[in-house]
């Protein structure tokens, strides 16, 4: 039922599950619509061993954060984007899409009931994990007849506790994350089970994450683990275009907007070759967890490429400051990205 929030040591939070008071639950029959749902105490769930999610991986998720700004308001960053994406993800796996209102109600209710689990300003955030899965039993391969939607929360620490440390990435030629026309463009749970082995192997060799190449000819970069990738060369910002195997990140979209509208630099959503990445002026990754994180070193084919002297590059730093500034309310929220929880 959640640990006592007063017992949490805010300075020692990492990215682990800390159980909170409550979670939001709604259900849906395949041909029906989603129940209104409501909050229940955080705890274990009961599931048939034949549940669709356990046997055939019918499950999708989202990741977002609620946090205190310097104005001491509690906000969530662009939750409407996550609402849209979970519907897309659900439909790809033949699960009923939910309307935006249910998603937002569930997320807001979860935050409001767990306010005392939100770390103080600067100490981290309340990570929100909406999940949808096939609950009903099934034997033959087909979409099941009943689905469950749960939003749970966990306080987490900041990605970097002290100074920013640029990432050390390993290009893999042994594994692909996603195939064209597969499910790489949705947040399907199965994508992440496939990424565990490459990640563990890379970590064992001392790298932070894996760079995945395109499944076709391995000439192009796709993503770095569960983060989108960007490069800067001669003041042009480039990121792989959304052509089916790239996850459309909310942070990716926000960085593109900031680069176009505020920095007014040339922005290209296009093919990005591995060679371009290794010779770029700056490389960085984006995601809800990593925000904007510089890449300092890339290993590919037993060669090492140092990016920008393993320091955070100028444009990377500008984009990171702009985004964090808006999120913390140190800058004006020009694009209306913050959803207030109060």
Ligand X SMILES: *Cc1c(COP(=O)(O)O)cnc(C)c1O
Catalytic annotation, residues: 187
CB 276 within 8 A of CB 246: no
CB within 8 A of 215, min separation 6: which ones? 176, 178, 179, 180, 245
Give the length of the chain: 342
The three-class DSSP label of residue 51 is strand
Rounded CA-CA distance 209/227 in Å is 10
CB 328 within 8 A of CB 60: no
User: Which ranges constitute the DSSP H helices of 93-236?
Assistant: 100-113, 189-204
- From 130, 198, 287, 313, residue interacting with ligand X (rule: CB under 6 A): 287
Q: Which stretch binds ligand X (CB under 6 A): 28-36, 45-53, 226-234, 303-311?
A: 226-234
Nearer to ligand X, 18 or 286 (CB): 286
Rounded CA-CA distance 276/10 in Å is 41
Nearer to ligand X, 56 or 159 (CB): 159
Indicate whether 79 belongs to the interface with ligand X (CB under 6 A). no
CB 132 within 8 A of CB 95: yes
- From 250, 280, 312, 341, residue interacting with ligand X (rule: CB under 6 A): 250
Nearer to ligand X, 58 or 288 (CB): 288
Indicate whether 226 belongs to the interface with ligand X (CB under 6 A). yes
Smallest separation (angstroms) from ligand X to the CB of 43? 26
Smallest separation (angstroms) from ligand X to the CB of 119? 19
Indicate whether 208 belongs to the interface with ligand X (CB under 6 A). no
Q: Which stretch binds ligand X (CB under 6 A): 4-12, 16-24, 134-142, 249-257?
A: 249-257
Q: Which helix (H) or strand (E) holds 55?
A: helix 52-56
> Please, which of residues 98-117 interact with ligand X by CB under 6 A?
none
Nearer to ligand X, 136 or 291 (CB): 291
Smallest separation (angstroms) from ligand X to the CB of 36? 26
- From 251, 293, 308, 339, residue interacting with ligand X (rule: CB under 6 A): 251
Indicate whether 185 belongs to the interface with ligand X (CB under 6 A). no
> Please, which of residues 119-148 interact with ligand X by CB under 6 A?
none
CB 269 within 8 A of CB 242: yes
Nearest to 239 by CA among 198, 208, 191, 280: 280
Contact residues for ligand X (CB under 6 A)? 63, 187, 223, 226-228, 247, 249-252, 286-288
């Amino acid at each position: 039922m959640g640990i006592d929030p007063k017992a949490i040591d805010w300075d020692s939070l990492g990215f682990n599950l800390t159980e909170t008071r409550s979670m939001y639950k709604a259900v849906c029959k395949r041909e029906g619509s989603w129940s209104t749902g409501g909050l229940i105490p955080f705890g274990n769930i009961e599931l048939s061993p034949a549940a669709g999610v356990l046997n055939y991986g019918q499950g999708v998720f989202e990741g977002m954060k609620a946090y205190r700004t310097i104005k001491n308001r509690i906000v969530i960053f662009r939750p409407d984007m996550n609402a849209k994406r979970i519907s897309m993800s659900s439909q790809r796996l033949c699960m009923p899409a939910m309307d935006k209102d249910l998603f937002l109600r569930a997320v807001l209710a979860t935050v409001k009931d767990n306010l005392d689990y939100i770390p103080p300003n600067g100490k981290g955030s309340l990570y929100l994990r909406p999940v949808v899965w096939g609950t009903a039993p099934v034997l033959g391969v087909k979409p099941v007849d009943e689905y469950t939607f749960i939003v749970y929360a966990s306080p987490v620490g900041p990605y970097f506790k002290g100074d920013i440390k640029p990432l050390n990435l390993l290009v893999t030629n042994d594994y692909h994350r996603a195939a064209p026309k597969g499910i790489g463009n949705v947040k399907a749970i199965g994508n992440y089970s496939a990424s565990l082995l490459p990640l563990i192997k890379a970590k064992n060799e001392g790298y932070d994450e894996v760079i995945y190449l395109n499944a076709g000819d391995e000439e192009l970069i796709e993503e770095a683990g569960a983060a989108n990738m960007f490069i800067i060369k001669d003041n042009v910002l480039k990121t792989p275009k959304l052509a089916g195997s790239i996850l459309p990140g909310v942070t990716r979209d926000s960085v593109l907007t900031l680069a176009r509208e505020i920095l007014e630099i040339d922005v290209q959503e296009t093919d990005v070759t591995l060679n371009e990445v290794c010779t770029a002026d700056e490389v960085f990754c984006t995601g809800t967890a990593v925000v904007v994180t510089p890449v300092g070193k890339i290993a590919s084919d037993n060669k090492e490429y140092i990016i920008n002297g393993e320091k955070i590059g100028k444009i990377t730093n500008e984009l990171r400051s702009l985004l964090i500034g808006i999120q913390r309310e140190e800058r004006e929220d020009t694009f209306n990205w913050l959803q207030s929880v109060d």
